[in-house]
């Protein structure tokens, strides 16, 4: 196990890491973008009425700015267990260690990325995403609350995501 253990958050991990954090840094991951490309059948939707959650989707020339979290010393094994229980619930995510850049320098961080061959992977136009997110609910709550919380926390950190901002506004108008 890598020590220190860094985890890259780009969605709900930003506002609900679920593990003891020793340090936070704004970080950028190149070659990937934040995308509502994963059908959620557990946390923000159901098998019968899937929601959508964010995933890191590989894309040439893309980048995603989020937060790198350094896990508190001695908590690495418990954190890995908790993250795997949360993020790998349906095997749509792949666990990877990827290089991110921060103002304090580069580091390797654990990240959960979409498996493009998984049945939950999807590419939907923004309007269809908005319609789904406006109404879906799963085991961890309403899909729209997940979107709005992520957008609000990115804004608080000064991280601009114009696509996410548009989607949050559109879902507000739909609800």
Please identify every residue annotated as catalytic.
Answer: 87
Contact 18, 84 (CB under 8 A): no
Cα separation of 134 and 174, whole Å? Answer: 7
State whether the Cα torsion 39-18-143-37 is positive or negative: negative
Instruction: Indicate the helix (H) or strand (E) that contains 161.
Output: none
Nearest to 134 by CA among 54, 14, 44: 44
* CA triple 41-6-51, angle to 5 deg: 15
């Amino acid at each position: 196990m890598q020590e220190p253990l860094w985890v890259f958050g780009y969605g709900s991990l930003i506002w609900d890491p679920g593990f003891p954090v020793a340090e936070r840094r704004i970080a950028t991951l190149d070659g990937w973008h934040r995308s509502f490309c994963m059908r959620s059948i557990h946390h923000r939707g159901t098998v019968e009425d899937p929601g959508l959650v964010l995933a890191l989707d590989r894309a040439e020339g893309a980048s995603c700015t989020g937060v790198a979290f350094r896990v508190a010393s001695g908590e690495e094994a418990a954190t890995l267990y908790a993250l795997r229980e949360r993020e790998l619930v349906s095997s749509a995510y792949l666990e990877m260690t990827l290089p991110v850049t921060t103002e304090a320098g580069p580091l390797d961080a654990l990240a959960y990325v979409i498996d493009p061959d998984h049945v939950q992977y999807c590419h939907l136009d923004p309007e269809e995403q908005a319609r789904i997110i406006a109404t879906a609910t799963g085991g961890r709550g309403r899909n729209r609350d997940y979107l709005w919380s992520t957008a609000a926390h990115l804004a608080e950190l000064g991280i601009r995501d114009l696509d996410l901002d548009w989607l949050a506004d559109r879902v507000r108008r739909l609800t």
